[in-house]
Structure 1
Amino acid sequence: MKKQTIVVAGELSGIGKSIARLFLDKGDNVVLNSVNTDKITQLFHELGGGGNLAVVASNVSDRVTGIKLLATAVAKFGSVDVLVNNAGVFETKPFFHVDEGYLDRFLDTNLKGPFLITQGIIPQMLKQGKGIVINIGMPLINPIRGGAPGAAVLAPKGAVHALTLQLAAEFGEYNISFNTVTPGIDSKSMHAATEEFIAGMHLSERTAEVQDIAQMVYAIAKKNL
């Protein structure tokens, strides 16, 4: 298959790392982003630190991050073929206990991040005449028995679904596709200590596997070549 340049923005401990590793293993170029400089440097070396890997340490909720990611990808690899918006924070808190500061945390990471990163990358895709954007979302119908108190998480992620549909309508004529992958809770990266408990809360009796999610992202990226 044709080599692509993939930008993976956001969390890198589970889903993001698995996505990056799969594309690298398949011979693609990857640009990684995380707010934690030490963490992203460590991951750079963990993934082999080769010539087809680049990293950018910056916060997804900062508008300049998308610009930095684009500049790095174009300077090193000449294009941005796929953007994976993987930024996400997951916690549960009863609705009436959510204050404005707590809500802002999820709005900034789970919605503002993908919005601004996409704004930064889309101009290059328009210039190229093609591109693929894949947002990592969350099921809008709560898959958890009893409806775990996650309004602060689900509301911004629901907005990401709406954003995906709207941008598909706006930019589809320019050969840019927009997609949302909606895994369940990934306990391996976010809640490892409570994996069995969280698996039991899902109707499917299992949590998402990061390798499965990465394969889905890869399939979408290659199908839309």
Structure 2
Amino acid sequence: MSKQTVIITGASSGIGLGLAKAFLDNGYNVVGSARSVERLQEAAASLGNPHNFVGVAGDVADPASARKLLAAAVEAFGSVEVLVNNAGFFLPKPFVDYSPEDLESLLDTNLKGVVYTSQAAVAHMKQQGGGHIVNISAAVALQPNIDVPAALPVLIKGGINQLTRALALELSRDNIQVNAVAPGIIDTPMHDPAAREFLNNLAPSGRVGTVEEIADAVLYLAKAGFTTGMVLAVDGGMSTGKW
């Protein structure tokens, strides 16, 4: 069997960079996207500049960039078996404090990026006879939390969860599995170390998760042949309910 190729959006830092490392370690070709060439160069350097990592700069909210990303992956490696829609950001604040600019930014990266990149990937996967899509959602979209006001991220990531289910049904006869991973609080540079005690207490497990734990879940779903339409919470029990 030839080596498989995965596209990972938002691959230059945090969970995305951890996913790139995990897929490389598991023998995949990796095509990673980010907004700037400089960030992709830094990511490649941190990964050891492997020959089977290609960075493609662009804005995931631009449908032309999505098509460019898919074309670059096919040109470099011949096919794309897996898409991980990871690009996104989390913006918690009281509902009335969200500005029109906040809404547009969240829609661009967290929603449009998933739609346009998935459209490009699905067209390719249909032609080649199958593939896997894994969306990165959020545990707070499964169970909102009074201590974390985040209505707009909940709205958009909740929509991604439903998109995951809808596409799983629509694409089932095309042999394309569509699933999602819903992380809880994960140990990445975006979190202030001074807030660790508060973050630890957001899950009944009493700790934050690791990037490696998210990567394990994504890798499983990238290989699963009889799992589709699943939103897998990796959150230490955060989305189970109030405790």
Aligned residues: 224
SS at match of 1:83: strand
- In structure 2, runs of 5+ residues without a counterpart are 227-243
* TM superposition score normalised by structure 1: 0.93
CA contact (8 A) 1:187 1:195 kept: no
SS at match of 2:201: helix
- Identity between Structure 1 and Structure 2 (%): 40
- In structure 1, runs of 5+ residues without a counterpart are none
SS at match of 2:164: helix
Determine the structure 2 residue equivalent to 1:79. Answer: 79
Deviation, structure 1 residue 3: 2.5
Deviation, structure 1 residue 208: 2.2
CA contact (8 A) 1:82 1:133 kept: yes
* 1:51-99 CA distance string (max 9 Å, x none): 2110101111111121111111111100000000001111211011112
Alignment RMSD? 1.7
Determine the structure 1 residue equivalent to 2:219. Answer: 218
Runs of 4+ aligned residues of structure 1 deviating over 6 Å after TM superposition are none
Deviation, structure 1 residue 112: 1.1
Determine the structure 1 residue equivalent to 2:233. Answer: none
* TM superposition score normalised by structure 2: 0.86
Structure 2: how far apart are the matches of 1:151 and 1:187?
22
CA contact (8 A) 1:35 1:58 kept: yes
Letter in 2 for 1:197: F
Deviation, structure 1 residue 36: 2.5
CA contact (8 A) 1:15 1:189 kept: no
SS at match of 2:180: strand
Letter in 2 for 1:106: L
Deviation, structure 1 residue 45: 1.8
SS at match of 2:183: coil
Correspondence 1:142 to 2:143: yes
Determine the structure 2 residue equivalent to 1:163. Answer: 163
Structure 2: how far apart are the matches of 1:189 and 1:216?
21
